[in-house]
Structures are given as structure tokens and as C-alpha cells.
């Protein structure tokens, strides 16, 4: 057996897989996909920093840990869903605790016309064939180890479909809660989301904690927007301080589709987010806005890859990072304009603040162009608060601590100015301010 397979992390998860009986285990094609992804995970083990995709995120400590599988008993912990509610987000909702669906906390009894929303575990009990393309996927890239693990072990998740032409008025809330349990748990959720032609949806993805824990959570989300569909997707990640959370999101935009993605990364000890977007149809458009705020020894790694594949597509990305203490932030933004994607317009901005001499942020913009008549720009900066601005505020009688907080908040707040939902925007501001260093 190779060295990576002997790692406690890999061993514990392979043992969990041997004991698990997952929903849909009687579906031949799904069993085959799970088995092949598990074999690929076992063969590769965890990547190390020699792999480019994981160059700035070491997994040695994680590799020495063992995790027990999440189960229904671990998910029965009392959770105050009202305390985790978001202002203005009181429509349809699916709630998962330690990766297990909680019907008692969810709101899916009276769904609006055109919206199909159900947990994956229930969808697999019915006609699973429409899910075959997404759930049969094999992850071939060397860095996709957690996506393979998720594809092999995910027992639940979200199936969300919006019918062609349907415009869902209220935001859909997907809430993932980590709760204390005996020992460290590993839970895995898999989501399949599709908006039909001309459909419109606002989606709020919320990762929260209900107590202290050190669980591992993995998520794979596949989103498809058909012609002319519009999606607003807001992610608030405020996982438990000691937790590990790895997310792998793929988005495909057909012709004239539009996606607006917002992300606020606050919690977790080790957090990784891989975002892959393909502008597959002519005149499709993507906008992404993101902020991460780190303290202590937090480590958050965002890997974003945008591929322009059709005519006259557009993408605009604005990301901000703040690191204090001994934390480390990583942001990679890669844009590829493929052959034939003439008329593409792509821009990426990554600006970052270091509030401590021991903090570190690694940012890496990449741009590859293989088409004609393209407009593209990217830029990245890492620095400290402007001393002149601090001097100006202090000369007006503002204390140093408050002046630093004001400048840091202004640096981050601009990212969410375009979010149309005022209540949600104010809440993100509130959460942002609560996590900013006070000194």
C-alpha cells in the first residue's frame, strides 16, 4: 500500500465507506460512480504542496486526523434555527445538520409554482435518471481529491430545479449547520441545481455553527443555467472556528444566461473553495464579488477558474482579503479565453490587506487568451492600511483602533454595494464588521 493510503485521514474515510449504506445504493450507475471515485481517492491520497493546485495549502496536519462518518443520531442535536435565520430570507429552505437533512427545520411544504426543491436522499428514491449526468461525474484532475471523496460518500444534499420561464420571488435558503457530537465527524453533501430557459432565482447558501466542533465537511455543487436564465447566489460562510470545510462548485452558463455570485468567507480553521465557471453560450455573463476576513491561525484558500468558451461573453470579478494574527489567505483567479470566444470581456481584481506582520496572503491572477478582439484585464495587490488615511482620521480626533477599523470596513464593504437585497446586504455588513479585527 502506498504511503498516502496509510495516512489516518484516508484510512478512516475508507473504513467509513466500507460501512456506509448510502441512499440510492441500489442504483447501478450510481454505485459504479461512487466506487470509481472512491478508488481514485484511495490511490491518490491527499495532495501535497508540490502540486500546483495545493501549493499554498498544506494538508499534513489534516492527514493525521481520523473522522467518524456523520449519521442521523449526530444530526438530532438541538439547533436553534431561528438564531440562524437571515433577514428577509424567509421563503423555501432546506436545513442540514452535520450533513443530514432536517425536515423539522426546513420549509418546503408550500413551494411556489415552477420550483422543485427536495433533499437528494428523497430524489434518489424516485426517478433518479435525470440526476445521472451530474452524479456520474468523475474527477480527473489531481487536485480534485475532495470532490472525489464527496462523489463517493455524499449521502444527501440538494436537488433544486426551476422551470423554464419561472421567476421565484423569494430567496431559497440552503442552511448547513455544524453541531457538536462525540468525536470528529466527516459529512458530505452533493447539490444539483438547474434553472430552465428564462428562469430567475435568488439563492442563499449559509454555512453556520451551532456550538464548537472540529468536523470535516465537503460539498460539491453543480449549477446549470439554461438560455436567458438569471441566478443571484449569495454565500455566507461562518463555520465553527475549528472546522474544516471544502467546497467544489461548478457553474455552466448557456446563451444569454447571467450569474451574480457573492461570497463572504469568515469562519472555519481550514477552508477551501474551488469555483469553476464555464461561459458556454453566446452573450452569457458572470459577475463575482468576494471577501475573506481571517484572524488567529485561520487558513482560507479560494481557487477560481473562469473559462470563456463562446462569443461576446463577459466576466467581472472583484475580491478583497483581510488577514490578521498568524492567518493565511490564498486567492487564485484564472481566466481562460478559449479559441473561438471572440469578443470576450474579462476583468479580475484582487486586493488584500495585511493587518499583522505575521499574516500572509498569496494572490495569483492568471490570464490566457486564445481568441481575437478580446478585452481583458487583471490585477492583484497585497499591502497594509494607508498611513496617510490613518493620519487624516486621527487628526480629526478618531482613535487609532477606530480609524483602522473604519478603513478596513470601507475596503471590504464596496464589494457588496451591488447586492440588490437591502436586508441581506445590511446583514452581510453586520457580519463583516463583527469579524473585523478590533485593533
Contacts of 361 (CB under 8 A, 6+ apart): 321, 323, 328, 329, 330, 331, 352, 354, 382
Query: Count of CB atoms within 10 A of residue 312's CB?
Result: 17
Helix or strand (DSSP H, E) at 189: strand 185-195
Helix or strand (DSSP H, E) at 69: strand 68-69
Contacts of 434 (CB under 8 A, 6+ apart): none
Residues found in the chain = 439
Classify residue 89 by its DSSP letter: B
- Give me the pLDDT at residue 138, please: 87
Cα gap 292→79, rounded to integer Å: 26
Cell of 2: 502506498
**DSSP per-residue letters across 255-322:** TT-EEEEEEEE---SEEEEEEEEEE-STT-EEEEEEEEEE-TT-EEEEEEEEEE-STT-EEEEEEEEE
- Give me the pLDDT at residue 2, please: 44
- Give me the pLDDT at residue 6, please: 58
- Give me the pLDDT at residue 16, please: 86
Cell of 326: 498568524
- Give me the pLDDT at residue 3, please: 45
Angle at 342 between CA 341 and CA 344, to 5 degrees: 80
CB 221 within 8 A of CB 248: yes
Check residue 114 and give left, alpha or beta (phi > 0: left; psi -120 to 50: alpha): left
Report how far apart, in Å, the C-alpha atoms of 107 and of each of 93, 102, 128 are: 5, 10, 23
CB 12 within 8 A of CB 45: no
**Each residue's pLDDT expressed in tens, for the chain with a length of 439 residues:** 344 445 899 999 998 888 888 999 889 999 999 999 999 999 989 999 999 999 999 999 999 999 998 766 666 777 877 778 898 888 999 999 999 999 999 999 999 999 999 999 999 998 899 999 999 988 888 889 999 999 999 989 999 999 999 999 999 999 999 999 888 999 999 999 999 999 999 999 999 999 899 999 999 999 999 999 999 999 999 999 999 999 999 999 999 999 999 999 999 999 999 999 999 999 999 999 999 999 999 999 999 999 999 999 999 999 999 999 999 999 999 999 999 999 999 999 999 999 999 999 999 999 999 999 999 998 888 877 767 776 666 777 777 777 777 778 888 888 999 999 999 999 999 999 888 876 4
Contacts of 151 (CB under 8 A, 6+ apart): 33, 34, 37, 135, 137, 138, 139, 190, 220
Rounded to the nearest 5°, which phi and psi values hold at 298? -60, 150
Cell of 53: 493546485
Place of cell 457553474: 251
Classify residue 86 by its DSSP letter: B
Alpha helices in 351-417 (DSSP H): 387-395, 400-413
- Give me the pLDDT at residue 1, please: 39
Amino acid at each position: 500500500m502506498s504511503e498516502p493510503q496509510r495516512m489516518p485521514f484516508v484510512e478512516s474515510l475508507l473504513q467509513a465507506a466500507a460501512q456506509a449504506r448510502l441512499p440510492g445504493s441500489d442504483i447501478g450507475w450510481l454505485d459504479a460512480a461512487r466506487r470509481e471515485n472512491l478508488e481514485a481517492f484511495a490511490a491518490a491520497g491527499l495532495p501535497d504542496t508540490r502540486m500546483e493546485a495545493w501549493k499554498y495549502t498544506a494538508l499534513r496536519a489534516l492527514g493525521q486526523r481520523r473522522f467518524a462518518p456523520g449519521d442521523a443520531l449526530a444530526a438530532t442535536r438541538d439547533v436553534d434555527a431561528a438564531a440562524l435565520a437571515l433577514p428577509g430570507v424567509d421563503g423555501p429552505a432546506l436545513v442540514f445538520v452535520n450533513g443530514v437533512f432536517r425536515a423539522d427545520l426546513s420549509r418546503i411544504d408550500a413551494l411556489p409554482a415552477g420550483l422543485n426543491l427536495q433533499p437528494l436522499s428523497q430524489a434518489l428514491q424516485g426517478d433518479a435518471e435525470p440526476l445521472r449526468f451530474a452524479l456520474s461525474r468523475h474527477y480527473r484532475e489531481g487536485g480534485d481529491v475532495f470532490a472525489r471523496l464527496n462523489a463517493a460518500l455524499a449521502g444527501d444534499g440538494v436537488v433544486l430545479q426551476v422551470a423554464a420561464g419561472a421567476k421565484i420571488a423569494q430567496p431559497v435558503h440552503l442552511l448547513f449547520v455544524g453541531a457538536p457530537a462525540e468525536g470528529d465527524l466527516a459529512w458530505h453533501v452533493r447539490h444539483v441545481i438547474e434553472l430552465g430557459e428564462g428562469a430567475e432565482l435568488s439563492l442563499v447558501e449559509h454555512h453556520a455553527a451551532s456550538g464548537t466542533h472540529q468536523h470535516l465537511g465537503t460539498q460539491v455543487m453543480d449549477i446549470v443555467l439554461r438560455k436567458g436564465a438569471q441566478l443571484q447566489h449569495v454565500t455566507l460562510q461562518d463555520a465553527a472556528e475549528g472546522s474544516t470545510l471544502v467546497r467544489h462548485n461548478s457553474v455552466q452558463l448557456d446563451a444569454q444566461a447571467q450569474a451574480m455570485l457573492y461570497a463572504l468567507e469568515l469562519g472555519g480553521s481550514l477552508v477551501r473553495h474551488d469555483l469553476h465557471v464555464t461561459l458556454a453560450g453566446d452573450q452569457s455573463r458572470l459577475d463575482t464579488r468576494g471577501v475573506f476576513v481571517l484572524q488567529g491561525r485561520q487558513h482560507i484558500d479560494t481557487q477560481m477558474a473562469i473559462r470563456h468558451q463562446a462569443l461576446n461573453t463577459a466576466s467581472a470579478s472583484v475580491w478583497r482579503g483581510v488577514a490578521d494574527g498568524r492567518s493565511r489567505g490564498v486567492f487564485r483567479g484564472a481566466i481562460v479565453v478559449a479559441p473561438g470566444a471572440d469578443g470576450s470581456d474579462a476583468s479580475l481584481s484582487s486586493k488584500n490587506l495585511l493587518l499583522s506582520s505575521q499574516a500572509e496572503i498569496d494572490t495569483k491572477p492568471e490570464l490566457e487568451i486564445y481568441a481575437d478582439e478580446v478585452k481583458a484585464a487583471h490585477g492583484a495587490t497585497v499591502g497594509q492600511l494607508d498611513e496617510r488615511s490613518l493620519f487624516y482620521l486621527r487628526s480629526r480626533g478618531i482613535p487609532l483602533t477606530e480609524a483602522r477599523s473604519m478603513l478596513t470596513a470601507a475596503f471590504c464593504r464596496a464589494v457588496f454595494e451591488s447586492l440588490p437585497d437591502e436586508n441581506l446586504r445590511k446583514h452581510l455588513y453586520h457580519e463583516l464588521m463583527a469579524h473585523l479585527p478590533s485593533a
